[in-house]
Amino acid sequence: MHSTAWLKGLDVTAGGQGIVSHAGVVLLRALADRTGLTSGLSKALTRRGFVPVHDRGRVLADLAVAIADGATVISDFAVLSGQREVLGPVASVPTAWRALEEIAGGGPKTARKINAAVNAARARAWEGIVARYGKMPGVRIADKVLDGVICVRLDATVTPACSDKEGAEANFKGFGHHPLLAYCDNTDEALAGMMRPGGAGSNTVADHLRVLDEAITAVPAKYRRKLSATRSPASPRRRGSRQPAAAGRCGSAARTTRAPGATAATGGAGWRKPTSPSSPPCCARAGAATSSPRGRNRCGCSPAGSGRTPARS
């Protein structure tokens, strides 16, 4: 896609007078073009023998811009048509619906092409962040900011439905869907997600593994490292490693009851059980099997297999 000529050398200032409705969509649209998102989507949605009036990559990128602008339904896409003098020709709402139906008809193959285009654009955007600021944003933990860590956050969110929609079911919060999402805490951007029926569980390990694997794939390769469900982001990295550490954490609504050990397709080693990096668990040490009258080892932890929680001082 070719950017509009007036966008070259564009400067943004805050000292102007008056109000221009939805002016921010211009910059978002330009960002989609400059990161290669629009052209990547166009290539992903190209079909042999089909030449639409409105490029499908342009339509999908405009839908994303509309959502960022506050759109909650497909008909809100019509807001962009009011900026025709600035944005140029914008597809109609029926055309947007047709584009989505074509994508749905393409199945998993089309979805993989779209994900690849989005991930490539994300890599360019992250490189631009590092080029301008020298590093990726840190992860805020309490009153501190942890640098050098890429944090993936999983969370299951119940979304209400006001009518009988596909997949909408009764759940503990009413009626609707229960998608599982993965976000990057560094940039507050969505990495992956799974649309699930309203009755889906919050602790389904298989769903967590699938979304986590897609989220790791979405992170640019140079920022990936092994993920651990228990390792603190502040833990020291392996000596000599030049790759930034990565940490995975789950929200309270998306927590599994066992540690999955599957390996992501991108080279991540999955999740590991909580063990000390310097010594084995207390109950595994020689002589630790001797329990106190209260049923705990002398070191304070529960005997192996007891299922009890460690004592706290």
Give the number of C-alpha atoms closer than 13 A to the C-alpha of residue 202, restricted to the C-beta side.
13
Q: What is the pLDDT of residue 47?
A: 87
Q: What is the pLDDT of residue 263?
A: 37
Q: What is the pLDDT of residue 48?
A: 87
What are the CA-CA distances from residue 149 to residues 10, 137, 157, 248 (Å)? 33, 9, 25, 10
Strand partners, 170: 175
Angle, vertex CA 303, rays to CA 228 and CA 252, nearest 5: 35
Q: Strand, helix or coil at 248?
A: strand
CB 106 within 8 A of CB 100: no
What are the CA-CA distances from residue 122 to residues 67, 184, 225, 295 (Å)? 18, 12, 17, 53
CB 243 within 8 A of CB 208: no
Q: What is the pLDDT of residue 273?
A: 38
Q: Strand, helix or coil at 177?
A: strand
Q: What is the pLDDT of residue 4?
A: 54
Query: Can you give the pLDDT of all 313 residues of the chain as single tens digits?
Result: 445 556 666 677 777 776 667 777 888 888 999 999 999 999 999 988 888 889 999 999 999 999 988 888 888 888 887 777 777 888 999 999 999 999 999 999 999 999 999 999 999 999 999 999 999 998 887 788 888 888 888 888 888 888 888 889 988 888 999 999 998 888 989 999 999 999 898 888 899 889 989 999 999 988 887 443 322 333 334 444 444 555 555 554 444 444 444 433 333 433 333 343 443 444 444 443 444 444 444 444 444 444 444 444 3
Q: Angle at which helices 37-44 and 56-68 pack, to 10 degrees?
A: 130
Q: What is the dihedral of CA 125, 131, 132, 136, to 10 degrees?
A: 70
Distance CA 126, CA 248 (A): 19
Strands 245-250 and 149-156: parallel
**Residue ranges of the domains in the chain?**
5-12+19-133, 139-250, 279-313
Q: For 117-150, give the DSSP string.
A: HHHHHHHHHHHHHHHHHSS---EEETTEEE-SEE
Q: What is the pLDDT of residue 175?
A: 92
Strand partners, 181: 155, 193
Q: What is the pLDDT of residue 8?
A: 67
Q: What is the pLDDT of residue 77?
A: 86
End-to-end CA distance of the chain: give it in Å, rounded.
63
Backbone angles phi, psi at 266, to 5 degrees: -90, 5
